[in-house]
């Protein structure tokens, strides 16, 4: 079986699909690695706004070019590539302004198009033309290249921060994205990064990466130690309303709130929390996914030595994908990646 297909909520089937043939302008990728992230879990467990069923999930993947259709230039059989997972229309105002991730006509692998939970993936001609296939530079592994999408999402968020210089940063949630965000901000020169994470093993991993994770109830003490009345920047990297509330409450006047993680619980946000945005004159910036430039930057960053190889990875076979999607981040590795 070489393909996992989601037909309905919590209904995933393993099937054997023939190797696809490329039409004019298309490229067929033999997928090497594909990340399984929290969004995939959400698609499987609850559905997702952009998900169209039946669908082969997977939007974080790398592989080798298996075949190319007539007229394809710059990409050849045997090239190692990573895939930017979105194909935008290229014509609307959002696209023209370089905000392709906001395109209303966006087609995303694993949501509107079949993605990397399959041995082979067909890249439509429009995507090939837009340059969503990036040749992996020498020195970057196919495994590291599969992490370009999550890193691109972190880059998309951090590039909206007006100024990092001598700023205190609070990250809420030390999962894959919280950890990548913290590593990225440290790489970009933030000197004071505090991460809250309630799960013991994730705190241990963060310690191994040189961070000093804490629990939300210790934040007031930490602010005293840092001699600050509030954080300059707070980014909730967790889907719980509680983390959003903590972020708003812990920011200083004029602070920056990065609304990075969509909220998935059913709790209401208290008006006293929202009023923090008003009274403290916070700047709130939403960030959803990443644009084509962000994943391009991610690949370049990894090639330039951004340390991504030190993150623990749990490699799984395709057969284990359903049991992984059923879990609530219970696995002890940060990244879970399918190895085809
Ligand atoms: Zn993802
Ligand atoms: Zn567009």
For residue range 278-294, what is the model confidence (pLDDT) as tens digits? 999 999 999 999 999 99
Note the ligand closest to the C-alpha atom of 95: 2
CA of 299 to the centre of ligand 2 (A): 23
Please give the pLDDT value at position 246: 97
Q: Which ligand is nearest to the CA of 109?
A: 1
- Would you say the pTM of this structure is higher than 0.75? yes
Q: Which of 156, 94, 106 is nearest to 132 (CA)?
A: 106
Q: How far is the CA of 200 from the centre of ligand 1 (A)?
A: 23
The answer to whether residues 81 and 75 touch, using CB atoms and an 8 Å cutoff, is yes
Pick the range with the lowest mean pLDDT from 77-81, 138-142, 334-338: 334-338
Q: H helices of the chain, where?
A: 38-45, 93-96, 125-130, 142-145, 148-158, 176-187, 200-208, 219-225, 241-250, 271-279, 292-303, 321-326
Q: Which ligand is nearest to the CA of 96?
A: 2
Measured in angstroms, how far is the CA atom of residue 198 from the centroid of ligand 2? 39
Per DSSP, the three-state class of 2 is coil
**What is the distance, to the nearest Å, from the Cα of residue 305 to the centroid of all Cα atoms in its chain?**
19
Which ligand is located closest to the Cα atom of residue 38? 1
Report pLDDT for 152.
98
- At residue 329, the pLDDT reads 62
Lowest mean pLDDT, pick from 120-129, 287-296, 326-335:
326-335
Confidence band for 328, pLDDT divided at 50, 70 and 90: confident
Q: Residue 203 has which token pair?
A: 């705190």
Q: Which ligand is nearest to the CA of 130?
A: 2
Q: How far is the CA of 151 from the centre of ligand 1 (A)?
A: 10
Domains in the chain, start-ordered, CATH in brackets?
A: 3-152+289-339 (3.90.180.10), 161-286 (3.40.50.720)
**Cα-to-centroid distance, 93 and ligand 2 (Å):** 7
Distance from the alpha carbon of residue 99 to the mean position of ligand 2, in angstroms: 8
What 3-state DSSP class applies to 64? Answer: strand
Give bridge partners of residue 171 from the DSSP assignment: 195, 235
Residue 333 has pLDDT above 80, yes or no: no
- Going from the Cα of 253 to the center of ligand 1, the distance in angstroms, rounded, reads 32
pLDDT at 330 over 70: no
pLDDT, residue 332, reads 64
Number of continuous H segments (helices) and E segments (strands) in the chain: 12, 16
Assess whether pLDDT exceeds 80 at residue 102: yes
pLDDT at 265 (0 to 100): 82
If you average pLDDT over every residue of the chain, what do you get? 95
How much is the pLDDT for 38?
A: 87
Least confident span in 31-35, 46-50, 93-97, 102-106: 46-50
User: What per-residue confidence (pLDDT) applies to 286?
Assistant: 97
Distance of CA 159 to the CA centre of its chain: 15
Question: How does pLDDT run across 175-185, given as a tens digit for each residue?
Answer: 999 999 999 99
Q: In the prediction, which pLDDT does 174 show? A: 94
Mean pLDDT of 257-272: 91
Please write the tens of the pLDDT for every residue from 197-245: 999 999 999 999 999 999 999 999 999 999 999 999 999 999 899 999 9
Residue 124 pLDDT: 98
Q: How confident is the model at residue 331 (pLDDT cuts 50, 70, 90)?
A: low
């Amino acid at each position: 079986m070489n393909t996992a297909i989601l037909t309905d909520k919590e209904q995933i089937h393993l099937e054997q699909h023939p190797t696809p043939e490329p039409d004019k302008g298309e490229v067929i990728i033999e997928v090497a690695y594909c990340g399984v992230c929290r969004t995939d879990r959400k698609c499987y467990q609850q559905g997702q706004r952009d998900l169209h069923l039946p669908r082969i999930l997977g939007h974080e993947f790398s592989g080798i070019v298996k075949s190319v259709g007539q007229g394809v230039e710059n990409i050849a059989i045997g090239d190692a590539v990573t895939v930017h997972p979105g194909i935008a229309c290229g014509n609307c105002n959002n696209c023209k302004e370089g905000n392709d991730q906001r395109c209303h006509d966006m087609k995303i692998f694993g949501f509107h198009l079949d993605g990397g939970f399959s041995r082979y993936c067909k890249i439509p001609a429009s995507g090939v033309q837009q340059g969503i296939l990036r040749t992996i530079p020498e020195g970057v592994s196919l495994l590291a290249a599969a992490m370009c999408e999550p890193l691109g999402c972190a880059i998309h968020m951090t590039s909206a921060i007006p100024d990092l210089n001598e700023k205190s940063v609070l990250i809420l949630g030390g999962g894959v994205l919280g950890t990548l965000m913290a590593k990225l901000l440290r790489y970009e020169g933030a000197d004071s990064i505090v991460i809250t994470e309630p799960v013991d093993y994730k705190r241990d991993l963060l310690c191994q990466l040189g961070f000093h994770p804490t629990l939300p109830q210790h934040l007031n003490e930490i602010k005293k130690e840092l001699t600050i009345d509030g954080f300059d920047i707070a980014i909730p990297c967790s889907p719980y309303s509680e983390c959003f509330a903590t972020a708003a409450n812990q920011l200083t006047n004029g602070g920056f709130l990065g609304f990075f993680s969509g909220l998935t619980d059913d709790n209401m946000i208290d008006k006293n929390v929202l009023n923090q945005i008003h009274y403290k004159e916070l700047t709130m910036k939403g960030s959803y996914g990443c644009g084509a430039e962000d994943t391009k930057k991610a690949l370049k960053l990894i090639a330039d030595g951004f340390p991504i190889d030190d993150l623990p990875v749990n490699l799984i076979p395709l057969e284990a994908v359903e049991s992984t999607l059923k879990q609530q981040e219970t696995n002890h590795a940060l990244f879970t990646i399918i190895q085809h």
